[in-house]
Structure 1
Amino acid sequence: MQDIVFIEGLHTKAVIGVYEWEKVIWQELVFDIEMEHDNRVPAANDDIHKTLDYEAISNAIKGFCKEHQFELIETLAERLCALLIDRFGLTTITMTLRKPGAVPSARAVGVKIRRSA
């Protein structure tokens, strides 16, 4: 196993849900992302170009959520993991996707998936 680079508590909005009323509103989503990455390579020369760019990955997540509409958070998580693996050359990603407010008596509901290239 390699080192883990993570982004925790990334908030964004998406049009997502199975009910008709959900298909016309923006809802909050919260992401926790863990990406396996060998940090010895960038650390050896203090080289930012050899590490994972947190901002670029965060912007890719936010952009994807704004540009796509799904009924299921499972579908969003699968497609987004595939995009991040491809775009950023990830070997393994673990994504926790929460949809706060989906169940009134719960703080959040969601999915946690782990995918590899």
Structure 2
Amino acid sequence: MNDFDQIFIEDLKCYATIGIFDWERQTKQPLIINLTLDISKITNPKDHISDTVDYKSLSRKINDLVEKSSYQLIETLGIEIAKICLSDQKVINAKVKIDKPGALRLSKNVGVIISRSKNEN
């Protein structure tokens, strides 16, 4: 039995200046972000947002980061998104999947999965 509940956000579409090539950095590119967050179990629910993670607020923070960022690697962006998720005291583990469709001409999709835990040093 798990000692946590999970929250997920699927297919959060954001636009970023990202990539290692000059042509990639000329215009913002679409990224698709998926999150799975392990959170502390809700033990005595009050049916209030304070019981859980405010995923609307979290998605805004992530979108703001992505829109303002200028990373070369989606790996770096994924790590920063995981840090934002883990900054919420209720989040124990964060799994961040970033898809960069169109990154390879002969591929439907390219991406990265970053998993981080609050217990990591």
- TM-score, scaled relative to structure 2: 0.88
Counterpart residue type for residue 50 of structure 1: D
Q: Which residue of 1 aligns with 2:24?
A: 22
Q: Structure 2: which amino acid aligns with 1:67?
A: K
**By how many angstroms is 1:24 displaced?**
2.1
The answer on 1:3 being equivalent to 2:2 is no
Q: Which runs of 4+ in 1 moved over 4 A?
A: none
What corresponds to 2:101 in structure 1? 100
Unaligned runs of 5+ in 2: none
- The AA in structure 1 aligned to 2:42 is R
- Quick check: 2:42–2:52 contact (8 Å CA) kept in 1? no
Q: Is the 8 A contact 2:9 2:34 kept in 1?
A: yes
Q: How does 1:1-117 map to 2 (within 5 A)?
A: 1=2, 2-41=4-43, 44-86=45-87, 88-89=88-89, 90-117=91-118
Q: TM-score, normalised by structure 1?
A: 0.91
Aligned length: 115
More helix by share: 1
**Share of identical aligned residues, percent?**
30
